[in-house]
């Protein structure tokens, strides 16, 4: 649960929520912890909240490295479990 995944914001809601796309998974997250977010921005997502804005280059670099190490699958599985648990 330590890791944060880079994701791209595809839609902004008016309630502090945003839709992001990460590793092919579409998910609603909170962007309340950030000052300013725009559609197209890359954010670091941790337990359903965007913690930080990052550059696209950094996002792609991190995703590629996580995918290579098998870490991305673990994190995405954790996110995917949410629907079943709730």
Partner 1 sequence: MKYVEEFRDPKLAENLAAVIRAEADSAREYNFMEFCGGHTHAIFRYGVQDLMPDNVHFVHGPGCPVCILPVRRLDDAIELADRHGVILCSYGDMLRVPGTKRRSLMVAKSEGADVRMVYSTLDALKIARENPDKQVVFLGIGFETTTPPSALAIKQASEEELENFTLFCNHVLTPAAIRHILDAPEIDPEEAVRLDGFLGPSHVSTVIGSQPYEFLADKYQKPVVIAGFEPLDVMQSVLMLIRQVNEGRVEVQNQYARVVTREGNERAQDLVDEIFEIRPAFEWRGLGSVPESALSIREKYAAFDAEKRFEISEKVSREVKSCECPAILRGVKKPKDCKLFGNVCTPETPMGSCMVSSEGSCAAYWTYRRAETLAEMAAERDLEPAQ
Residues lying near partner 1 in the complex (CB under 8 A) are found at 1-4, 29-30, 32-35, 44, 46-49, 51-52, 54-55, 58, 62, 64-65, 68-71, 74, 78-79, 81-82, 85-86
Smallest separation (angstroms) from partner 1 to the CB of 15: 10
Nearer of residues 19 and 30 to partner 1, judged by Cβ: 30
Nearer of residues 40 and 86 to partner 1, judged by Cβ: 86
Smallest separation (angstroms) from partner 1 to the CB of 63: 11
Element (H, E) at 65: helix 56-68
Distance separating alpha carbons of residues 60 and 71, to the nearest angstrom? 14
In the chain, what are the helix, strand and coil shares in percent, each to the nearest 5?
35, 35, 30
Distance separating alpha carbons of residues 70 and 77, to the nearest angstrom? 11
């Amino acid at each position: 649960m330590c890791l944060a995944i880079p994701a791209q914001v595809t839609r902004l809601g008016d309630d502090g929520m945003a839709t992001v796309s990460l590793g092919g998974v579409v998910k609603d997250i909170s962007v309340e912890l950030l000052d300013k977010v725009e559609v197209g921005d890359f954010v670091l997502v941790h337990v359903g909240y965007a913690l930080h804005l990052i550059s696209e280059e950094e996002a792609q670099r991190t995703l590629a490295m996580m995918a290579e190490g098998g870490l991305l699958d673990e994190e995405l599985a954790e996110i995917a479990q949410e629907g079943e648990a709730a």
